[in-house]
Amino acid sequence: MSELLVVREISKTFDTGGCPAVDQVSFDCRKGEVLAIVGGSGSGKTTLLRIIAGLEIPDSGEIMLDGERINGQTNFLPPEKRDCTLVFQDFALFPNLTVWRNVTFGKGASEDPEGLEKLMAMAEISDLRDRYPHEISGGQQQRVALVRALATKPLLLLLDEPLSQLDPELRENVRRELLALLSESGVTTLFVSHDTEDALAMADKVVVLRDGKTEQMGTPTEAYRKPANSYVAKLFGKTNLLPADLVATGRHRFEDPEGGGELVSVRPGEWRVVDPAHDSDTPVLTGRVKSIHDRGGHREILLVGERFEVVARLPLGVESEVGDELSITC
């Protein structure tokens, strides 16, 4: 695969003398890839998406789409001339148009009715063609917005927080449906999200932003299992940040930028109970169980020792009570 989108040292500041919203961000996206830009509020992810779409003009840097530079003083391409389509966070469906008229609204969408019918079938919205947006669910609205975007056959699909409008119960199902639709269409996709679960479930590559800067870039699994720093570790879910000398050698380590020394990120599910007498060669943490919470298929315990306090997710078969001494390793 070759790079479809190349972003080089893009910067953007909105207030004179203020901190950059986007600060020298660079990354590549190959044809057919799904790339996620994740970060907390104010990290610059939506500004970066708008810059790529042509809705904001960067102060510096270069963007190449399919080998053509699309920003610059002399060759700036306006949004309508870029071969990319942006799906907004609120889906932006026309409330006075039926589903069919919504999906045929985009440029060139009505020129291939057979292809459009196939897209609608893939998204399972064919039977909704005569309904209006207020008559269908949030998940169905999202699929209509996606089909409308894909019907224009863009080189690059841009999604702004594609699942944020959905409640948690619906979110997981729609996430699977969205991934299936993107996989079948084969379109190169870039989406932004504050929810790293979206990145873990759907993305081939992830760019982690904080205060406009890139904190880490790689696969979602790398960001989860080998975070570059404590910010990335915490962003990708519940974790234990421990001094490196307490944890088994060979695990991924990083220098804490906030002065905490060398740390290791260990997820709650990576612990197992051991008997120190039989695991003398393995670094073991021994402490007292401070609390226990049943989580359906597992028990979540808080273990406290002299130099540590960790959360461990253990099988239901591990019998332990508050106050018991317990030894764990990872």
**Do both 213 and 246 map to the same domain?**
no
Counting residues of the chain whose pLDDT is more than 90, the rounded percentage is 47
pLDDT at residue 174 greater than cutoff 80: no
**Domain total of the chain:** 2
Q: How far apart are CA 248 and CA 72, in angstroms?
A: 50
**Do both 58 and 193 map to the same domain?**
yes
**Do both 242 and 218 map to the same domain?**
no
In a domain, 118, yes or no: no
93-121 tens-digit pLDDT: 999 999 999 988 876 666 777 888 888 88
Question: Comparing 48-52, 202-206, 250-254, which segment has the lowest mean pLDDT?
Answer: 250-254
- Both structure tokens of 268: 């709650």
Question: Comparing 37-41, 118-122, 269-273, 279-283, which segment has the lowest mean pLDDT?
Answer: 279-283
* Between 153 and 64, the higher pLDDT residue: 64
- Average pLDDT in the 1-14 region? 90
pLDDT of residue 30: 95
Q: How far apart are CA 156 and CA 154, in angstroms?
A: 5
Question: Comparing 148-162, 170-184, 311-325, which segment has the lowest mean pLDDT?
Answer: 170-184
Q: How far apart are CA 180 and CA 15, in angstroms?
A: 41
pLDDT at residue 306 greater than cutoff 90: no
User: Where are any strands of DSSP class E within the chain?
Assistant: 3-12, 22-30, 34-38, 60-65, 68-69, 84-87, 156-160, 188-193, 205-210, 213-218, 240-243, 253-256, 261-266, 272-273, 285-294, 298-304, 309-315, 325-329
CATH code at position 76: 3.40.50.300
Q: How far apart are CA 93 and CA 143, in angstroms?
A: 11
Max mean pLDDT range (12-26, 110-124, 159-173): 12-26
**Do both 180 and 325 map to the same domain?**
no
**Do both 209 and 276 map to the same domain?**
no
**Do both 213 and 256 map to the same domain?**
no
pLDDT of residue 313: 92
In a domain, 304, yes or no: yes
pLDDT of residue 274: 85
- Tell which of 196, 222, 248 closes a domain: 222
Max mean pLDDT range (75-84, 172-181, 198-207): 198-207
33-83 tens-digit pLDDT: 999 999 999 999 999 999 999 999 999 999 999 999 998 767 788 888 889
- Average pLDDT in the 173-182 region? 82
Residue 8: closest CA among 52, 47, 38, 73: 52
- Both structure tokens of 67: 């080998």
pLDDT of residue 259: 59
pLDDT of residue 11: 94
**Do both 169 and 271 map to the same domain?**
no
**Do both 199 and 244 map to the same domain?**
no
Q: How far apart are CA 225 and CA 252, in angstroms?
A: 8
Counting residues of the chain whose pLDDT is more than 70, the rounded percentage is 94
- Tell which of 222, 250, 278 closes a domain: 222
pLDDT of residue 180: 84
Place of tokens 């917005």: 145
Which residues fall within 8 angstroms of residue 277, CB to CB, at 6 or more apart?
none
Domain coverage including residue 12: 3-83+154-222
In a domain, 92, yes or no: no
